[in-house]
Amino acid sequence: MMWDELVPILSKANVLSSVDGAALTALCIQWERSVQARAVLKRQGLFSLGSMGQLVEHPAVQTERSAHLMFLRFAEQFGITPVARTRIAAAVAVAGASMRGELGAALDLDLDYDVVDHV
């Protein structure tokens, strides 16, 4: 189950808080919903007969699509997509540069000073 896989990973990364249970539950539900829709599509195919006998997209295609979109929205919130991780890394880099600049200014230091170049 998705929950059993994600909770240890997110806990180790210090991403989870006690208030995150509902959002993580919703993420897992959306994943399971997409898995269930995929199973229906595997058994019944991508198309079904419409009200006038014409081929139409199977309703489970929309269920799967919606579940994937919702899953990705929740996944972004937990930093478990490549884009989310890139955004987090960029934010950390900006914050780190800002902190180095502020600390350097406060201490009147050049924190980018490379000891190897000056030995």
59 & 114 share domain: no
pLDDT of residue 114: 52
Q: Where are the beta strands (DSSP E) in 1-119?
A: 47-49, 55-57
Per residue in 44-83, pLDDT (tens digit) is 999 999 999 999 999 999 999 999 999 999 999 999 998 8
Is pLDDT at 92 greater than 90 in this prediction?
no
Tokens matching residue 48 = 């079904």
* Domain enclosing residue 114, as ranges: 82-119
pLDDT of residue 99: 63
Overall domain count for the chain = 2
- The encoded tokens of residue 79 equal 């930093």
Residues 72 and 44 in one domain: yes
Please report which confidence band the pLDDT of residue 87 belongs to, taking 50, 70 and 90 as the band edges.
confident
Residues 46 and 91 occupy one common structural domain: no
On whether both 63 and 44 belong to a single domain, the answer is yes
One domain, residues 40 and 96: no
Q: 40 pairs with which residues across the strands?
A: none
Q: Are residues 2 and 34 in the same domain?
A: yes
- pTM, whole model, 2 decimals? 0.73
CA distances from 72 to 45, 75, 87, 108 (A): 24, 5, 15, 45
- For the cut 90, the answer to whether the pLDDT of residue 85 exceeds it is no
pLDDT at 108: 58
User: Does residue 58 share a domain with residue 98?
Assistant: no
Q: Are residues 9 and 60 in the same domain?
A: yes
Tokens of 42: 């595997």
Query: Are residues 107 and 50 both part of a single domain?
Result: no
